[in-house]
């Protein structure tokens, strides 16, 4: 098998080497290491491979904590020291900004850190009945595969959720429809944990009794979801308080349903909001829009400053949740929320929001290209804070803001929202230069 020296890491956490003029992306390899590898995909300009043996190890290499590492596709960077992961992700962000967008940040902000393990408050586990592998499998997908990694522990999940994984196998195996429960959604709030079972067929009374007993034993709420996300409903206990997370710095309580989008890492979310508002500098009397606002995660902290906030979100359900959270927190007077498809934003649709002093954007992985292209003479906020979960689309959108719309990229930095994974969350700030 070939041996090579690793030059760097790519955006997926793979080691990058150059062999015979071709880029080779090698899973499980770190910069500076010499590794023996095996190619599993070859193309004219690149190859994808995995590490067979580390000939000379990096000082940053550590033993992966999870026994499913290498099989489960969930955490590809466990072999890299946690403190070094943020530095690698910062480099990924800077490289994307330059190579994709031809922009550089005036200031590189200090990386936002949090707990490296047990941080994941949201997860979607896949369930499969595979008699040839011993019965019910519960876990994330295997690496490079649609098969399920049969997990009996997961150190990035909260400890009490990880501990119940073996019991989940037994629970589902004992139900009448073990082959018709394809997934379990996990959502943890400040005071409760919910398991949402996606059931493609109705459960019988014995099934419901088993699920209720499981809920009592493990101190969780059990919900069923027979159809789309809106069909999710509590099975046991039926009369339960809503899930919520708190933002103590802003004296806010954010209620949500277990199928709503919320950030997976409450610790980093709080720090990310603090950083975003430090950069945005909202003030009383200003008019600020929060695009892709969700249930108000950034909108309501901004509103606490006394600014007037306009939140726009594609999901009607989340718009309703944002309004409810605003009323519950006494902020209905200076917040307005609207449903709109921001992927089809135009100059006219942005102008219809009214004059804006500042803008916060927090789009999904696809980015906000329609929004940034739609910024015209009638809508040119003096400052834009852009929260991103994909460095490539941030860099693409940054190129439009800087090279076409007259903004400068004043600063950018990462938030390690998903430790042990290659996912890069970041926040950037753009200031209008008037040119």
Active site residues: 389
297 is in an annotated binding site: yes
379 is in an annotated binding site: no
362 marked as part of a ligand binding site? yes
> Is 298 annotated to bind ligand?
no
> Do 394 and 97 form a contact (C-beta atoms < 8 A)?
yes
Residue 244 marked as a ligand binder:
no
Is 45 within any annotated ligand binding site? Answer: no
Does the annotation place 265 within a ligand binding site? no
Q: Is 348 annotated to bind ligand?
A: no
Q: Which residues are annotated as a binding site for [4Fe-4S] cluster?
A: 66, 72, 75, 154
Q: Which residues are annotated as a binding site for S-adenosyl-L-methionine?
A: 263, 292, 297, 313, 341, 362
């Amino acid at each position: 098998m070939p041996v090579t020296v690793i030059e760097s890491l790519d955006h997926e956490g793979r080691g990058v080497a150059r062999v015979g003029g071709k880029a080779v992306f090698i899973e499980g390899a770190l910069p500076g290491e010499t590794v023996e590898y095996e190619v599993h995909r070859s193309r004219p300009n690149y190859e994808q491979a995995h590490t067979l043996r580390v000939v000379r190890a990096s000082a940053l290499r550590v033993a992966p904590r999870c026994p499913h590492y290498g099989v489960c596709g969930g955490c590809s960077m466990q072999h890299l020291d946690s403190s070094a992961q943020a530095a690698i992700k910062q480099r990924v962000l800077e490289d994307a900004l330059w190579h994709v967008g031809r922009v550089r940040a005036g200031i590189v902000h200090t990386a936002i850190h949090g707990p490296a393990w047990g941080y994941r408050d949201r997860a979607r586990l896949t369930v499969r009945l595979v008699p040839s592998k011993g019965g019910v499998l519960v876990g994330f997908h295997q690496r490079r595969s649609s098969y399920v990694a049969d997990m009996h522990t997961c150190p990035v999940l909260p400890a009490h959720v990880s501990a119940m994984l073996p019991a989940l196998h037994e629970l589902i195996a004992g139900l009448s429809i073990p082959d018709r429960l394809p997934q379990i959604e996990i959502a943890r709030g400040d005071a409760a944990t919910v398991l949402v079972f996606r059931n493609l067929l109705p459960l019988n009374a014995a099934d419901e009794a088993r699920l209720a007993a499981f809920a009592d034993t493990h101190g969780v709420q059990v919900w069923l979801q027979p159809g789309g996300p809106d069909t999710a409903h509590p099975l046991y206990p039926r009369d339960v308080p809503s899930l919520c997370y708190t933002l103590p710095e802003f004296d806010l309580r954010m209620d949500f349903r277990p199928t709503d989008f919320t950030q997976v890492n409450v610790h980093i979310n709080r720090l990310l909001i603090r950083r975003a508002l430090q950069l945005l500098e909202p003030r009383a009397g200003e008019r600020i829009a929060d695009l892709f606002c969700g249930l108000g995660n950034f909108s309501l902290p901004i509103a606490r400053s006394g600014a007037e906030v306009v939140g726009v979100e594609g999901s009607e359900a989340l718009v309703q949740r944002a309004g409810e959270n605003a009323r519950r927190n006494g902020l209905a007077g200076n917040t307005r929320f609207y449903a709109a498809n921001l992927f089809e934003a135009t100059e006219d649709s942005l102008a219809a929001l009214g004059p804006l002093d500042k803008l916060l954007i927090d789009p999904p992985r696809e980015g906000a290209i329609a929004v940034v292209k739609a910024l015209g003479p009638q809508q040119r906020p003096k400052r834009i804070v852009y929260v991103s979960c994909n460095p490539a689309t941030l860099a693409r959108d940054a190129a439009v803001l800087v090279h076409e719309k007259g903004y400068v990229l004043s600063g950018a930095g990462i938030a390690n929202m998903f430790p042990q994974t290659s996912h890069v969350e970041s926040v950037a700030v753009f200031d209008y230069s008037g040119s």
